[in-house]
Amino acid sequence: MQKNNSSKPSLCIVHTGHAVAQMLLGEGHECAGGAELQLAEIGRRLCQHGWSVTFALDGHGHTLASTTPEGIRLLSIDSVSAGLPVIRFLSHTLPENWRLIAKAGADVYMQMGVGWQNALVAWACRDSDRRFILWLGSITDPVCDDPRRSRLPTHERWLARYGLRHADVIVAQTHDQQRLLKQRHGRDSVLIRNIWPADNAGYTSPVGQPEVFWAATMRKLKRPHLFLDIAEALPSIRFVMAGVPAEGNPGLYDEVKTRAENMANVDFLGFVPFAEIDKYYARASAYLCTSTIEGFPNTFLQAWSHGRPVVSTFDPDELICEHKLGCHCHDFDELVQGVRIACENSSDYAQRVRAYLRQYHSPEVIMPQIERVLLGE
């Protein structure tokens, strides 16, 4: 383990959920999303660069105080499910999270994504003269207080807004997030794109029957049925689907699973651990995104790391179009045509998409940007 450099401030990353701890401890990743993957990668690399890093985790399921092989300190609190939600939130969740943040004792605190915890971290940092860095995780984050566009429950919106307005620094993933933040809250932000090890996978040409891969949590906004509609329109192409059920969309997972299993050209995988999912990107001809809302999808980066084009209904900052990384489609007919073209010409994208990844998302490019923000430069 590399020794910490005392000239660097200590960092605490505050996060809800158990996936980050599982990833850092090598216990397996039940349902790792974009934020978990990014935070785990950033935490490891900062520790390798001599930073003192602590993860404060609410929702791990049990009290945790341990250190990873890299030297990252993990702190967690017990989750409580009994009692009325409001009473539980006021009597347990808020005070326990406050104590967790204080126990971390860091110089700088960071969160990715908006939610009620943003306000708590902002209050704690102002009370102790620490810095708070808030990293946007979705295009809806800048409009967290807008009931028409926010995905947050009502009781979380104003807490998230407080944190958004009182963070010392806000980091955006895209120019689109920056524009929305400026328009709605009058706040500037720092642009740092998602990190991805560009050469973590060797390129292999797609072989056999053309294949399209889709991976997401089964939420309505991800539009899994649209993926199956496209599969129906292209029976000569194989479609492979990975995903897990989502809270708030009861029954959608089973509905999609039943439909997919009755389609001859669709393989429904269900949950696939992150450690095992890479092979499906490697063997696919293209990756398909049917979502209406995203931040900057890690799925795009993983597909590009294998030299695969992305066909998508969402294009952050129009990067897919600008850099010719696949196809940005606006309706069903465009999606069908885009998938067909991407599969027929998959190998033509390989050099271009991997070069883009190295230039804009590699650790050598992103880590110096992150360290400058943490140092307040």
Q: How does DSSP assign 164-175, residue by residue?
A: HHH-SEEEESSH
Query: Distance between CA 349 and CA 363 in Å, rounded?
Result: 22
- For the cut 90, the answer to whether the pLDDT of residue 200 exceeds it is no
Region 281-292 average pLDDT: 95
Select the CATH number that applies to the domain covering 211-360 from these four: 3.40.50.150, 1.10.3720.10, 3.40.50.2000, 1.10.420.10.
3.40.50.2000
Query: Distance between CA 132 and CA 238 in Å, rounded?
Result: 46
Give residue 21's pLDDT.
76
pLDDT tens digits along 25-52:
776 555 566 788 899 899 999 999 999 9
Percent of the chain with pLDDT over 70: 89
- CB burial of residue 179 (10 Å; 0-12, 13-18, 19+): middle
- For the cut 90, the answer to whether the pLDDT of residue 64 exceeds it is no
**What does the block give as tokens for 106?**
């860091």
Q: Given pLDDT bands bounded at 50, 70 and 90, which one contains residue 201?
A: low
Single-letter amino acid code for the residue at 263: M
Domain ranges of the chain: 11-195+362-374, 211-360
Fold: same for 11-195+362-374 and 211-360: yes
Q: Give the residue from 21, 19, 44, 15 showing the smallest Cα distance to 30.
A: 19
Q: Given pLDDT bands bounded at 50, 70 and 90, which one contains residue 111?
A: very high
Give residue 29's pLDDT.
54
Give residue 276's pLDDT.
87
Average pLDDT across the chain, whole number: 88
The mean-pLDDT minimum among 23-32, 65-74, 93-102, 241-250 falls in: 23-32
3-state secondary structure of 144: coil
Write down the residue that tokens 């993990």 correspond to.
Answer: 74
Give residue 49's pLDDT.
92
Q: Are 304 and 325 in contact (CB under 8 A)?
A: yes
Region 143-156 average pLDDT: 87
pTM listed for this prediction: 0.89
Query: Distance between CA 348 and CA 253 in Å, rounded?
Result: 35
Q: Give the residue from 339, 334, 340, 300 showing the smallest Cα distance to 317.
A: 300
Report which secondary-structure segment, H or E, holds 160.
Answer: helix 154-166
pLDDT tens digits along 16-27:
766 777 777 776
Residue 193 per-residue DSSP state: P
- For the cut 90, the answer to whether the pLDDT of residue 93 exceeds it is no
Task: Domain 11-195+362-374: give its CATH code.
Answer: 3.40.50.2000
